[in-house]
Structures are given as C-alpha cells and as structure tokens.
Chains A and B, each alone.
Chain A
Amino acid sequence: MLLIPCPYCGPRSELEFKHAGEAHITREPQVADDQAWGEFLYTRTNPKGIIAERWRHTSGCGRFFNCLRDTVSDNILATYKSGEPRPSLETSGEPSR
C-alpha cells in the first residue's frame, strides 16, 4: 500500500485517496477545432517515469492536489496543492529508485 502525503493532512494510506488523471492539462478556449478538442479530452503523455497526477483525498479532507509519481517504481516524489507550480525534481528530495 502506498503512503501518500496529502499537502493538508500529511501522510495517509492510499485507500483514503482517489486517482484523478494527469495534472496540468489546460484547455485553450480559443482553439475549438476537433483536433484540439480531441487532444484535450483524450491525449495523455503516459510516460514511463515521472508523471504529474491529480489525486483527491476523498476519505479525508476531500481536496484535490497534485502529485509527482514514478510510474516505474510507484514512488511518490512530491505532492503539492492545486494551483501551485510543478516542483522541480532537484527540490523534490528522494531519488526515484
């Protein structure tokens, strides 16, 4: 089981959380053609390595936050509040392996 550090409540068990897809996906309201809309809806980076994701502390404070996770090792590298910039990996501490 993962121990996920909620930016508000501190480290909590994975079963209190819900995954909510990739983070930092922004919609460009000015671009409304089918191609851009389709990419906004469906295209994700799906990297092998570090990914920024949204999580929600569903059974805790109920807040969405962002999380840097290594998809290979499942290590949680950093969590930060929604609206805050993605932290650089130098400042996130722990190595991914």
Chain B
Amino acid sequence: MVETVTLARSGSLAGRRMASVTELAPVARFSFRGSEATAIKLGEAFGARPAVEPCRSSVAGARSALWLGPDEWLLIATDQDAGTLFAALETALAAEPHSLVDVSHRNTGFDIVGAGGAGLLSEGCPLDFDLAAFPVGMCTQTVLGKAEIVLWRFAPLSFRLECWRSFAPYVADFLAQAADNQD
C-alpha cells in the first residue's frame, strides 16, 4: 500500500507507511530558564505549569511548556502574539531571577502525524519510540541527522518537531529522504 507523505517544503512524496509532515504556522515561543520555584510562578501567569519531571510536557489549552533541562523549558503559545505575552510574563516574573527569551522566530515546528512517523524519525534519531520508552507527553532535545531538535510526542501517533529555522530545510529534506528510503 502506497500512502502519500506531504511535505510543506518539498511537495508531495510517496511513502510506503502513512505519515504526514507539515510545517507549522508561526507561533509564540519562549525559552525560559529559572529555578523550579520561579517555574511555578511562571506557570501561574502562563497557564501551563512547567513540568519538574525530566523530559515531560504540560499542556493547558493553547499553552504548552516543554522540559528541556533541569532549569530550562520551551514555552509555546498559539493563542496570543509573542510581544503581548512576553510583556505579561515579564511583569509576572519581575521579582524573580530568571531568563525569558522570545525565540518565536528562531524555531520552526513540524508536525509528524501517522503510523509511519516514528519510522521516519528513526532514520536519523537514536531514541526508542516505543510507547513504553517514549510515552505521550514526553519531550526531549535530541538529534535528527546532523540537526539538533526538540521532539515532543503529543499523541500516540503524533510528534511535534521543533528545530532552528536555519535547519528547517535540512530537516524537511531529511524527512523526505527518510520517506523515500522506506518506499
């Protein structure tokens, strides 16, 4: 059975296993660094409380907080523009030592959805994508080929891949090649 892999940057590709790769529209993203106590304060203002457990995400409506390191989270908001939200968060955190950086334009996101998604990623990522090893809600920084990426499983067959914008053509081509390899 031949299914179609749609790739925003590279057009349509034939792939044996079903997966769609879609480049996402711009959203507000922040890199937040601070202590766990500061993260709790941030969570009150942001909506999604940053997870303390390693490699876990928290979602509240249109707001997501992804654990990247013991004092580092990636915040994603799809419901508000970055400038307004940034100002609101900075106001809430005024008294706390922290670092909040608007990285909305630094990153590009891809959604990789479908039964073949894990197989595509496995072409360039050494992680185990079994649901027991990489459950829904897990997020981590890792590699895809030569690109450093953030990978987040937000549903059993759905991954969000965040990479730096300059790496996006490479990541898109890598996934297209991966789909070709699996034909």
Q: Which residues of A does B touch, CB under 8 Å?
A: 1, 8-10, 12-13, 15-16, 59-63
Contact = CB atoms under 8 A, between A and B. Distances in A.
Interface stretch (B37-45, B92-100, B135-143): B135-143
Interface of B: 54-55, 68-70, 72, 126-127, 140-143, 148
B100 to A, nearest CB: 17
Contact of B70 (A16, A59, A63): A63
Given A8-B70, A12-B126, A61-B72, 11 more contacts: A1-B126, A9-B54, A9-B140, A10-B54, A10-B55, A12-B127, A12-B142, A16-B143, A59-B148, A60-B140, A61-B54
Contacts of A60: 140-142
B143 A61 contact: no
Contacts of A59: 141-143, 148
Contacts, number: 39
Given A9-B55, A59-B148, A61-B54, A15 B70 contact: no
B142 A16 contact: yes
Contact of A15 (B68, B69, B140, B143): B143
DSSP class of B's interface residues: helix, strand, loop or mixed?
Answer: strand
16 contacts: A8-B54, A8-B69, A8-B70, A9-B55, A9-B140, A10-B55, A12-B127, A15-B126, A15-B143, A59-B142, A60-B141, A61-B69, A61-B70, A61-B141, A62-B72, A63-B70
Contacts of B69: 8, 61-63
Contacts of B68: 61-62
Nearest to A61: B69
B73 to A, nearest CB: 11
Contacts of A15: 126, 143
A62 B54 CA distance: 13
Contacts of A9: 54-55, 140
Contacts of B141: 59-62
A16 B55 contact: no
B53 to A, nearest CB: 10
B99 to A, nearest CB: 14
